[in-house]
Amino acid sequence: MEVLITGGAGFLGRRLTRKLLERPTLTGPDGRAQPIERIVLLDVAAAPDLEDPRVGCIVGDLANPALLRHAVHSGTGSIFHLAAVVSGQAEAEFDLGMRVNVDATRALLEACRTLAKPPRCVFASSVAVYGGELPETVVDTTAVDPRSSYGVEKAIGELLVSEYSRRGFVDGRVLRLPTISVRPGKPNQAASSFASGIVREPLNGERGVCPVAPGTRVWLLSPREAIENLIVAHELAPERLQGRRTINVPGVSVTVQEMVQALERVAGAEVAKRVEWRLDPTVDRIVSSWPGAWDATRARALGFTGDADFDAIIRAYIEDERPRFAG
């Protein structure tokens, strides 16, 4: 069968692709293991570093229904919907965020609806759906109350994936992912970009700017565990979800100050000193509206996993992305 990954040329998409290429099979729409014949990456740019005869790219605008009809067809057994306009950009460009995060998600679900066998579809949602007055630990039944455009758009996407699943148009699974840290590469327009930058840049010998207060509590997941969990979500038998399609994935709860302390423990005081505190009120407001932790009992019972602590997250980043530093 064919696997479609939206946002497939992004960091998580490429990493998921490499992981899927190592697997002999993935569960198909009929619930049985099927060989992965082809992985199609749908994104605004081509993936640069994936040379495998099974991987193909479709480059274009996800919100274009004609492109989606081309990308989703009778051979599509499985979809990972990772494409999104990130939080900072969705706040700055409202119409763009609505078009990609809401309209394209709905168009993708509509494309699934045309298929005879509803494909499995894993939708990456976010900590940003929560906001407002929050309990110390968010639970599965805590109301979403997003305080950013990105959060609103993801919350609408969650409702759509759940409803299209209830209707039998798709077999959807919504993963509420903690903030992913440490991402390699360059900063992006996510309000949470600093949560990678304050580790990545200092390890590169550069200044890492932190735009939020040291006491701000964040809820983190490593890219390794994010990829594992996307696959766990895909492989879950639908009856195990008991009508509730949204899963709050395990994370690590730390303050930003504790992140820097962990960096010092793992990489030394010289590296940790490269973190520069420079408050950005817009970023601080958005990040502070997110929960610093949630209860992941249900997710763990379903087989989802998190990281041990932030030290382990930094070590995993060094192993995966900076092996020379580790040596």
| Residue numbers at the binding site for its own copies (CB under 8 A) | 94, 132-133, 135, 140-147, 149, 152, 155-156, 159-160, 162-163, 166-167, 243-244
Q: What is the DSSP letter of 193?
A: G
CB of 159 to its own copies, least distance (A): 5
Q: What is the DSSP letter of 308?
A: S
Peptide bond into 182 cis (omega under 30): yes
Calpha distance 229→246 (Å, rounded) = 13
CB of 135 to its own copies, least distance (A): 8
Q: Which residues contact 119 (CB under 8 A, 6 or more apart)?
A: 29, 72, 76, 77, 78, 79, 112, 170, 171
Closer CB to its own copies, residue 159 or residue 213?
Answer: 159
Say whether 6 sits in a helix, a strand or coil: strand
How would you write 279-293 as a 3-class SS string?
A: CCHHHHHHHHCCCCC
Calpha distance 117→113 (Å, rounded) = 9
CB of 297 to its own copies, least distance (A): 14
CB of 168 to its own copies, least distance (A): 11
56, 87, 194, 232: CA torsion to nearest 10: -50
Closer CB to its own copies, residue 103 or residue 309?
Answer: 103
Identity of residue 286: I
Closer CB to its own copies, residue 28 or residue 65?
Answer: 65
Catalytic residues: 150
Closer CB to its own copies, residue 25 or residue 114?
Answer: 114
Closer CB to its own copies, residue 146 or residue 250?
Answer: 146
CB of 21 to its own copies, least distance (A): 36
